[in-house]
């Protein structure tokens, strides 16, 4: 415990010292903390060199305590830094700096900075922006370092993106498994999730939503009924009317579904599709009883998708036996009760123009 507390105190002090370095002043506190954790404490006796001219600099050096002097009578004290650009890559020290009295300092080697960037590529971008605006023209060594740095940042981003995509596929695969399990409990809904995803994407596109929102609509269509996974199969397969307890169980599925995905970062934008797809425009829906524009547009879109699917799977017969104009009329008839005017109108127009329902 004491060792950890000492480490935390050192890192806090190191972050304060690094924040004084011009190269690092624009960094966020989280980035300074990451670099502080990588900095190493050093000390030398009076008369000992901290850096040697013509020899590789150990990295960025910031004095903690004591005094030092360099060429031309330059003096350095606590908070002063040496070899600032050595934080970016190997460099030869420009001057010899010697401790005038026992001196403590921290060193931030370039390799530690590069490792920190690989863990958080945004740190590399912040450094590059700062260096690019402050770099002297004609410094070939610095230009080469910046090019290497840019390559490091690019590679770090690519690796980070690969890891994120692999994680995304893995998580989405697990949630898809839950969707499949939910559909096996609900015989008439086999394929409903994929059809809803197909329609939600098409409808969001027709409404002019941005690409990211269109993609989220497709995910919303796929996952909107995932909460059925906790509803008893016997309840979902029951042919007669449901009693009050059974109705509560069925009506819990939007809330349960939202809880399943709400802590998965890339699925957070999908939560309103799942939570609000049974809300009604007139306020008589569930689980929250929202009305009108108080229902998120994601919920209003999914309510239209859900009604269309219900019409196609109801006693009216399969979609192939329904006249598109009849479906359009039925959708428009629900404007102001179940559905939003703009969304229902867009969906009705799609259907009437020959939009093909997915299989």
Would 200 be classed as within a structural domain?
yes
The mean pLDDT of 265-281, rounded to a whole number, is 93
Whole-number pLDDT of residue 119: 76
Handedness of CA 17, 23, 25, 31 (dihedral sign): negative
Separation CA 108–CA 284 (nearest Å): 62
Q: Do 22 and 155 sit in the same domain of this protein? A: yes
Would 177 be classed as within a structural domain?
no
pLDDT at 137 over 50: no
62 or 316: whose pLDDT is higher?
62
Would 125 be classed as within a structural domain?
yes
Q: Do 120 and 262 sit in the same domain of this protein? A: no
Separation CA 240–CA 232 (nearest Å): 15
DSSP character string of 281-331: TTS--SSS---GGGS-HHHHHHHHHHHHHHHHHSTT--GGGS-HHHHHHHH
Q: Do 152 and 233 sit in the same domain of this protein? A: no
pLDDT band at 315 (very low <50, low <70, confident <90, very high): very low
8 or 58: whose pLDDT is higher?
58
> Based on the structure, what is the number of domains in the chain?
2
Omega of the bond leading into 185 within 30 degrees of 0 (cis)? no
Separation CA 217–CA 71 (nearest Å): 65
Whole-number pLDDT of residue 154: 59
Whole-number pLDDT of residue 10: 76
Whole-number pLDDT of residue 2: 37
pLDDT band at 357 (very low <50, low <70, confident <90, very high): low
Find the CATH number of the domain harbouring 228.
1.10.3210.10
Separation CA 35–CA 81 (nearest Å): 15
The rounded percent of the chain whose pLDDT value lies above 90 is 45
The mean pLDDT of 247-263, rounded to a whole number, is 90
Q: Do 252 and 348 sit in the same domain of this protein? A: yes
Specify whether the CB–CB gap between 352 and 328 falls below 8 A. yes
The rounded percent of the chain whose pLDDT value lies above 70 is 82
Would 7 be classed as within a structural domain?
yes
30 or 332: whose pLDDT is higher?
332
CB under 8 A, 24+ apart: contacts of 31-35 = 31/116, 31/120, 31/122, 31/123, 31/126, 34/116, 34/119, 34/120, 34/123, 35/108, 35/112, 35/113, 35/116, 35/123
The mean pLDDT of 231-247, rounded to a whole number, is 86
Two tokens at 50?
């901290």
Would 128 be classed as within a structural domain?
yes
Whole-number pLDDT of residue 214: 95
Write down the pTM of the prediction. Answer: 0.57
Would 179 be classed as within a structural domain?
no
Find the domain containing 213 and state its range.
187-352
Distances (CA, A) of 352 to 145, 199, 248, 347, 357: 61, 14, 36, 9, 12
Q: Using one digit for the tens of pLDDT, what is the confidence trace for 166-207?
A: 767 777 777 777 777 777 777 667 788 889 999 999 999 999
Crossing angle (nearest 10°) for helices 324-333 and 341-352: 170
The mean pLDDT of the chain is: 83
Paired residues of 82 in beta bridges: 61
Find the CATH number of the domain harbouring 80.
2.60.120.10
Q: Do 270 and 313 sit in the same domain of this protein? A: yes
Q: Do 256 and 319 sit in the same domain of this protein? A: yes
* Lowest-confidence pick of 48-57, 154-163, 302-311, 312-321: 312-321
- Phi/psi for 281 (5° steps) reads -60, -30
Domain final residue, candidates 160, 175, 205: 160
Q: Do 81 and 219 sit in the same domain of this protein? A: no
Whole-number pLDDT of residue 3: 44
Q: Do 221 and 279 sit in the same domain of this protein? A: yes
239 or 225: whose pLDDT is higher?
225
pLDDT at 139 over 50: no
pLDDT at 13 over 70: yes
The mean pLDDT of 314-333, rounded to a whole number, is 72
- Phi/psi for 63 (5° steps) reads -75, 140
pLDDT band at 129 (very low <50, low <70, confident <90, very high): low
Q: Do 226 and 268 sit in the same domain of this protein? A: yes
Whole-number pLDDT of residue 115: 83
The mean pLDDT of 61-83, rounded to a whole number, is 91
The highest-confidence range among 202-211, 259-268, 346-355, by mean pLDDT, is: 202-211
């Amino acid at each position: 415990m004491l060792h950890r507390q000492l480490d935390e105190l050192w890192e806090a002090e190191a972050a304060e010292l690094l924040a004084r370095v011009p190269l690092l002043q624009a960094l966020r506190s989280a980035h300074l903390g990451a670099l502080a954790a990588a900095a190493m404490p050093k000390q030398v006796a009076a008369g000992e060199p901290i850096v040697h001219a013509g020899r590789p600099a150990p990295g960025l050096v910031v004095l903690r305590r004591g005094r030092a002097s360099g060429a031309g009578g330059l003096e350095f004290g606590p908070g002063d830094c040496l070899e600032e650009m050595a934080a970016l890559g190997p460099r030869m020290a420009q001057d010899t700096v010697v401790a005038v009295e026992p001196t403590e300092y921290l060193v931030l080697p370039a390799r530690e900075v590069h490792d920190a960037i690989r863990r958080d590529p945004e740190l590399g971008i912040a450094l590059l922006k700062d260096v690019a605006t402050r770099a002297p023209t004609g410094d070939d060594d610095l230009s080469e370092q910046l090019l290497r740095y840019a390559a490091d940042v690019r590679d770090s981003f690519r690796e980070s993106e690969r890891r994120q995509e692999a994680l995304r596929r893995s998580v989405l695969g697990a949630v898809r498994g839950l969707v499949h399990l939910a559909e096996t409990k609900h015989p008439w809904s086999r394929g409903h999730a994929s059809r809803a995803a197909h329609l939600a994407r098409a409808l969001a596109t027709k409404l002019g939503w941005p690409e990211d929102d269109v993609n989220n609509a497709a995910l919303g269509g796929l996952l909107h009924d995932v909460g059925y996974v906790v509803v008893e199969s016997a309840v979902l397969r029951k042919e007669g009317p449901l009693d009050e307890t059974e109705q509560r169980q069925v009506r819990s599925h939007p809330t349960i579904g939202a809880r399943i995905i709400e802590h998965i970062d890339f699925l957070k934008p999908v939560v309103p599709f799942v939570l609000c797809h049974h809300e009604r425009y007139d306020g008589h829906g569930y689980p929250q009883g929202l009305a009108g524009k108080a229902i998120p547009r994601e919920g209003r879109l999914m309510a239209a998708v859900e009604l269309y699917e219900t019409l196609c799977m109801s006693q009216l017969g399969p979609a192939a036996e329904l006249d598109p104009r009849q479906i359009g009329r039925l959708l428009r008839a629900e404007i102001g009760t179940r559905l939003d005017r703009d969304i229902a109108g867009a969906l009705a127009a799609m259907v009437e123009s020959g939009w093909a329902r997915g299989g």
